[in-house]
Structure 1
């Protein structure tokens, strides 16, 4: 079926395309009742639906924002998007979601597509690989708010969990249970400030309780290849930890899989606390203690900040920190 265009409506109603456009946009006070009725009847007969994108491209505001995420299926990310969407609805805005799968090239194309669609602003969980490009769009007048990760510390508008305090609280929770050998399992954090903040929170808790930092207990996980060193081999080493503190949901699930395969019991053999809540954790044989972020709140606050910047281009940059909490379950045991 051929798509009905505005010119088809105009022809059927025997009016100019400009007159039909004026009617569509609600500017018909000057029109005769007969003209209005003919256009209305033509729209109904042809089942014409206006193209909102085409209409918005002619307006100063599109009432649309873009949201760029790294993994739309992520538990926290999906809740963040829900917060964005709910806040948009209260303000008459729509959100266009782009998923990058952690690929900087896809991220760059998403930024370009949203810019060409003339969205009013963008919320992004960036890869860190397009910092200059993002700055260029900001300099062109595109309001942009970052969330989830802080890469180089130069992000102008940012909504984040308080990672450092959260990591401190989680580490101290384990220490108060008697744990001194706590294995910190993380992705590379040298060039990502948010990941480094978690490490600093972990180190700070050890220092406050006079526990020496053991570099052997800093272990790395890579999204493509998994653990740099097998968790099983770590548990069998001289520096064997009594607890793991994992820094991402994917790390937690990967660790659980390996422990289950080798019949290592939680918390009898080793305790575990993970960063990010786990879907349906209450149904696990041993529910996992986690650091719980507030992704829904982050989504709402990011949208609020973005719309403030859209409405006031002179508004100064802001960095907002959202508190996390430790959700205690059965995966951590007290030791002597």
Structure 2
């Protein structure tokens, strides 16, 4: 079936294309009731659906933003998206969601596609590999707000959890339980400020309590290859009494490794994770976590972006959202 165009509606109603367009855009103050009814009947009879992209190409503002996330199914990302969507709806904006699966090339294509769709601004959890491309679009007048991760610090507008304080508080909680050998499990944090901040919070808490920093207790995890050293081997070689994991997938994989090795939490080793664990209340041993506020981050990112769009300026802001410590049963005093 051929797609019905605006000119088809106009011909069917016996009016000009301009008159039909004015009706569809709600501008019919000086249009007779009879003309309005003819156009309305033509739209219904032909089942005409306006093309929003074509409208956007002519509009100064499209009332649409883009959101680029690394994993749309993730516990954190899904709640950020909900915060963005709720705030946008309340302010008569629509959000287009793009998923990158952690691929910088897909991320670049997503940004380019959103620009071509004439969105008014973009919220992005960036890989850090498209800094120049993002700067180019900002220089073209595209407001962009980052969230979740700060890479090299060049991000002009960004909403983050207060990672340093959260890591400090979590480490100090374990220290107050008597733990001095706390294994910090993280992704590679070279040139990634958000991961450096977590490490610094951990190191500062040890320093405050005069506990030497043992490099053997700073372990790496990679999304593709897993742990640098298997959890059971870390325990055997370096005798940590607690693990402090820095990302939900690390927590999940660590739990699997401990279960396979018949290492009990918290009887054999305590565990504290960064990021909420879905359905933690149903675990045999619910996990103590640093709880972020992704919904609030989504709301604040949207608020900052829409403010920049309205003012047509890109004043630099870095906003930190506090975290909280959700104490459960996976950590015990020693």
Give the TM-score of the pair, scaled to structure 2: 0.98
Q: Counterpart in 2 of 1:194? A: 194
1:86-118 per-residue CA deviation (whole Å, 9 max, x = no partner) reads 000110000000000000000000000000000
1:243-265 per-residue CA deviation (whole Å, 9 max, x = no partner) reads 00000000000000111111110
The CA distance in 2 between the partners of 1:217 and 1:40, in whole Å, is 71
Give the TM-score of the pair, scaled to structure 1: 0.98
Contact conserved, 2:84 with 2:302, CA < 8 A, in 1?
yes
**Pairing of 1:64-103 with structure 2 (within 5 A):** 64-103=64-103
Contact conserved, 2:231 with 2:254, CA < 8 A, in 1?
yes
Q: CA deviation at 1:324?
A: 0.4
1:14-67 per-residue CA deviation (whole Å, 9 max, x = no partner) reads 222222111111222333333222111111111222122221221100000000
Unaligned runs of 5+ in 1: none
The CA distance in 1 between the partners of 2:285 and 2:36, in whole Å, is 67
Unaligned runs of 5+ in 2: none
**Pairing of 1:305-320 with structure 2 (within 5 A):** 305-314=304-313, 316-320=315-319
Q: CA deviation at 1:315?
A: 5.2
The CA distance in 2 between the partners of 1:230 and 1:154, in whole Å, is 35
Check if 1:152 corresponds to 2:182: no
The CA distance in 1 between the partners of 2:91 and 2:294, in whole Å, is 20
**Pairing of 1:196-275 with structure 2 (within 5 A):** 196-237=196-237, 239-275=238-274
Check if 1:132 corresponds to 2:135: no
The CA distance in 1 between the partners of 2:9 and 2:81, in whole Å, is 37
Q: CA deviation at 1:127?
A: 0.3
The CA distance in 2 between the partners of 1:9 and 1:203, in whole Å, is 68
Contact conserved, 2:159 with 2:301, CA < 8 A, in 1?
yes
1:190-217 per-residue CA deviation (whole Å, 9 max, x = no partner) reads 1100000000000000000000000000
Contact conserved, 2:143 with 2:314, CA < 8 A, in 1?
no
User: Which SS does the other structure have where 2:145 is aligned?
Assistant: strand
The CA distance in 1 between the partners of 2:12 and 2:108, in whole Å, is 44
1:153-193 per-residue CA deviation (whole Å, 9 max, x = no partner) reads 11100100000000000000000000000000000001100
The CA distance in 1 between the partners of 2:246 and 2:87, in whole Å, is 29
The CA distance in 2 between the partners of 1:307 and 1:117, in whole Å, is 17
Check if 1:39 corresponds to 2:39: yes
Q: Counterpart in 2 of 1:53? A: 53
Q: Counterpart in 2 of 1:184? A: 184
Q: Counterpart in 1 of 2:121? A: 121
User: How many residues end up aligned between the 2 structures?
Assistant: 334
Query: Which deviates more from structure 2 when the two are superposed, residues 314-323 or residues 222-231?
Result: 314-323
CA RMSD of aligned residues (A): 0.9
User: Which SS does the other structure have where 1:158 is aligned?
Assistant: strand
Q: Counterpart in 1 of 2:289? A: 290
Check if 1:11 corresponds to 2:11: yes
The CA distance in 1 between the partners of 2:38 and 2:288, in whole Å, is 66
The CA distance in 2 between the partners of 1:177 and 1:76, in whole Å, is 28
Query: Which deviates more from structure 2 when the two are superposed, residues 180-189 or residues 28-37?
Result: 28-37
User: Which SS does the other structure have where 1:236 is aligned?
Assistant: helix
The CA distance in 2 between the partners of 1:316 and 1:80, in whole Å, is 23
The CA distance in 2 between the partners of 1:256 and 1:152, in whole Å, is 31
Runs in 1 of length 4+ with deviation above 6 angstroms?
A: none
